[in-house]
Amino acid sequence: MKKILTIEEGVRSVLSVYNAVPDIKWEYRPAEEGCLTDAIVLDGAVYPLFWWRCDTQIMALAENAPERKLCSMKLNRTCAKSYGIDRLMYQEIDIAELMLDSKIESVMCFDNGCARNMLATMKNKRVAIFELAAVLNDCTAEQGRHIYWGQDGMASDRVVSQKVASDAIYLFSEDEAKPEVFNDIFIYMYGLNKTDVVKAACIAEILMGWRDISDWKEKDAHYRRCLAAAAESDRTCRRTLIREAEV
């Protein structure tokens, strides 16, 4: 079995499984310091990469959300300090709008620099509660959970007793005190960590035309306005409306 070492190799491996040959030039760009997300370049056009949308658990929650007739959602996440609280919130805002099927209309936010609590009211009057922190050691995987409640039940991407994210394979050896971990979500991307597997899968889906990203630039601009509103709300201690895009 070939061990995949990079996201680009993972993308090519996925494409080979489906005998897909992209008819456009593409490039993966990891997020640089200060950026809010990675990017994909398609024939010279740069798009933000909402790679988390290809996470199998996020996909399962999103697919079942309409049947639950959602009322509210809680996004409880903790990431590494180096990842940054704004970058984490950017990601979670997208997940909230995806699940609740609406843009954020207003926010009430409290921030101490490394942790952030925010109550977001959506345009369809559903509510999202954000409990976020960037306090973990560098290279530590994100922890936490997503939960939503609806008229017909609730759902979560982690069971009650599961405290930290788990891996599928733990390889112990005589040379290392800690195991080397792998996942088996896609056998043809053996060797990549979970996050890189999701990123490679997302890029492959885009290249195969399975995922529409035509509005991702617009969403990126909207999420940045949400972050600005969150900062204003924390500064003023007032509920803040999201500014509409300038025409």
Quote the pLDDT of residue 67: 87
Over the stretch 204-227, which tens digit does the pLDDT of each residue have?
Answer: 999 999 999 999 999 999 999 999
Quote the pLDDT of residue 184: 60
For residue 12, being part of any structural domain is answered with yes
Whether 247 has a pLDDT exceeding 60, the answer reads no
For residue 205, being part of any structural domain is answered with no
Whether 201 has a pLDDT exceeding 90, the answer reads yes
For residue 206, being part of any structural domain is answered with no
For residue 31, being part of any structural domain is answered with yes
What is the model's pTM?
Answer: 0.91
Quote the pLDDT of residue 160: 66
Residues 6+ apart with CB under 8 A from 105: 121, 122, 123, 241, 242
5 to 148, 211, 235: CA distances (angstroms): 35, 24, 44
For residue 210, being part of any structural domain is answered with no
For residue 221, being part of any structural domain is answered with yes
On whether the CB atoms of residues 230 and 107 are closer than 8 A, the answer is yes
15-22 long-range Cβ contacts below 8 angstroms, 24+ apart: 15/204, 15/207, 15/208, 16/188, 17/188, 18/208, 20/204, 20/207, 20/208, 22/207, 22/208
Over the stretch 67-102, which tens digit does the pLDDT of each residue have?
Answer: 889 999 999 999 999 999 999 999 999 999 999 999
* Residue whose entry in the numeric block shows the structure tokens 């345009």: 123
Q: Helices H, strands E: what count in the chain?
A: 5, 12
* Residue whose entry in the numeric block shows the structure tokens 């979560």: 156
Whether 236 has a pLDDT exceeding 80, the answer reads yes
> What residue numbers bound the domain in which 227 lies?
7-196+215-241
Quote the pLDDT of residue 3: 86
For residue 30, being part of any structural domain is answered with yes
The percentage of residues in the chain with a pLDDT greater than 70, rounded to a whole number, is 94
* Residue whose entry in the numeric block shows the structure tokens 């300038």: 246
Point out the least confidently predicted range of 63-67, 94-98, 167-171. Answer: 167-171
On whether the CB atoms of residues 65 and 99 are closer than 8 A, the answer is yes
Residues 6+ apart with CB under 8 A from 130: 75, 89, 92, 96, 116, 117, 118, 119, 120
Residues 6+ apart with CB under 8 A from 223: 36, 90, 93, 94
For residue 209, being part of any structural domain is answered with no
Q: Domain with 134 in it: what CATH number? A: 3.30.360.10
Q: Which two tokens stand for residue 155?
A: 């759902």
Over the stretch 13-33, which tens digit does the pLDDT of each residue have?
Answer: 999 999 999 999 999 999 988
Rounded CA gap, 110 and 230, in Å?
A: 8
> Into how many domains does the chain fold?
1
DSSP-assigned beta bridge partners for residue 149: 72, 154
